[in-house]
A and B are shown apart, each in its own frame.
Chain A
Amino acid sequence: MEAGSSLLRAIDYSKCIGCETCEVVCGFIHELGPFIKLYELGGGVKKPISCFHCSKAPCIEACPTGAMRKDQYGAVYVEPSKCIGCMACLYACPFGIPELSEVTKTSTKCDLCRDLRREGLTPACVAMCPTRAIILGPPRAIGDEVKRRALTKIVYLGELK
């Protein structure tokens, strides 16, 4: 992945079976994690949610110390040495994503596995999702994939089976 080209992660909730692999692998590699979490919505339906890495991230706007940042791929992350744990980012986030770590007393959230990406690897939740419900790539490629998947639900392909 070239620097400067941004990354978009999308979760295809029609493919997700709620198996919890994303949450488990995230928690395994992040001491303060997991940063993708499943919630039960009733009737046994469980789905994951994580940071959307907004292009115009309100959490970055709201952060008074410049701790909330964006890397060159557009991943929003916390620089802990600058964070005062005020959680203005949580108030600003429309999805309630940032969490206060009881250990570091700073805001914590998904950084799309910066450490793994530095080594040319894929974020853990994307790499390990059994159903390929979690996808990551340049926004255009993700947009294409989402639309391609939508088409497979509309167009009859039975003859090919």
Chain B
Amino acid sequence: MKFAFLCRERPGAAKQRVAVIGSGPAGLSATGYLVCRGYEVDVYDKLPIPGGMMTFAIPKYRIPLDSIMEGVDELKSKFSVQFNLATKVICGERHDEGDELATNTVDLLKLVEGYDAVLISTGTWRSRRLGVPGDDAKNVMSALEFLLNLHMVDLGLRKSHIGSFKKVVVVGGGLSAIDAAEESVLRGAQEVYLVYRRTIKEAPAGEYEVRRLMRMGVNWIELAAPKSIVVENGSARGIVFQRMKLGEPDETGRPRPVPIPGSEFTIEADTVIAAIGEIPTPPIASECGDLAKYVGKDGRISVDKNYRISGRNIFAAGDVVTGPSKIGNAVGQGLRAAKEIDKFLSARILAAVPR
């Protein structure tokens, strides 16, 4: 991915400085645009390698690492972008997934002060929990935790902290669920179940992907939702599911799954993976001046139509603004936000010229 696809070199000497927080597709695309407009860009990321979900969640057989690194290396060597990795940016305190890999912490407000503009593109690094009794057992994890661990091991960055997985139950019907189930099969799990509370027609990953996994040997169970986890000595041994039927459409327009009383059944498991959605993780975890009021209940940052927190030098783009989406959406958000940052900073230069 040639993030600086709009120019061959930086036009002239660097004018102003921008900090990009989060080096997923949104942050890296914004960085590419900004260096082509002549800005000096410093990137901050809590993980030790740039690329966000593309590097640490999506399997490498779908996105090769060198496709991302080619663009990152060009940003470094040709455009002098400085990557501050394993550096978590936060105002206040909050633990998100992957934070254990950060060795430094930087205060968001320091960056806001120290740079002409700041872009927040920190994605969705917290997972929804199953919310049933026993979901804190030690072999119950999120898809993000499961996939991040596999990537870390493959990249040689750490030893696996997940025991053997022979009987895996994945709960969910989106892309994360597909990836967790497929990786389990590819890495030798003997039995893999994919359990979704609606039907294959409603699965966000699409019927094609579900059927492809069924062909690989994954057991697809639809219209069932977890009710509790069977825990022995702190470890999950299985999940109790309850059958569902489709009811009236809910707020999302999809039919609501309605539990059928007395329909419980149990699936044995040595690994339980919750793939039921990720939550935005903006680097704002306390009042932070008045910044907290721009973070919604669902964790998303609200910005104006110019991707800006009105009146401030703070912009935001990508899944931290929209909630979980796709790479294309994150790239587009990053590019459009960068264009607005350029407009904002150019206007500031003009305003500073005495008349």
Contacts and interface: CB of A to CB of B under 8 A. Distances in A.
Contacts of B332: 24-25, 27-28
Contacts of B327: 19-21, 130
A127 B3 CA distance: 8
A127 B211 CA distance: 32
Interface in B196-233: 203, 205-209, 211
A17 B206 contact: no
A29 B7 CA distance: 13
A25 B335 contact: yes
B85 interface: no
B208 A45 contact: yes
Interface in A21-70: 21-25, 27-29, 42-45
Interface string B1-20: 11101111000000000000
A132 interface: yes
- Interface residues of chain A: helix, strand, loop or mixed (majority): loop
A21 B5 contact: no
Given A20-B326, A131-B67, A43 B331 contact: no
Interface string A105-131: 000000000001001111010011111
Contacts of B62: 17, 131
B234 interface: no
Contacts of B29: 128
Nearest to B33: A28
Interface residues of A, number: 27
Q: Which of B62, B68, B327, B329 has the most C-beta atoms of chain A within 10 angstroms of its own C-beta? A: B327
B152 interface: no
B336 interface: yes
B8 A28 contact: no
B328 A122 contact: no
Contact of B5 (A20, A42, A121, A131): A121
A43 B210 CA distance: 9
Contacts, number: 79
B5 A124 contact: yes
A127 B32 CA distance: 12
A17 B175 CA distance: 11
B207 A128 contact: no
Interface string B105-144: 0000000000000000000000000000000000000000
A130 B1 contact: yes
B267 to A, nearest CB: 25
Contacts of A17: 62-63
A43 B1 contact: no
Interface in A123-143: 124, 127-132
B207 A130 contact: no
Contacts of B209: 44
A54 B5 CA distance: 25
A132 B61 CA distance: 12
Nearest to B204: A44
A78 B292 CA distance: 50
Contact of A44 (B68, B205, B335): B205
A3 to B, nearest CB: 18
Interface of A: 17, 19-25, 27-29, 42-45, 116, 119-122, 124, 127-132
Given A42-B208, A119-B7, 16 more contacts: A20-B328, A27-B332, A28-B335, A43-B207, A45-B206, A45-B208, A116-B5, A120-B8, A122-B5, A127-B1, A127-B5, A129-B1, A130-B1, A130-B68, A131-B63, A132-B67
Q: Shortest 8 CB-CB distances between A and B: which pairs?
A: A44-B206, A20-B328, A43-B208, A43-B207, A127-B5, A24-B332, A127-B2, A19-B327
7 contacts: A20-B327, A24-B332, A42-B207, A119-B8, A128-B5, A128-B29, A131-B62
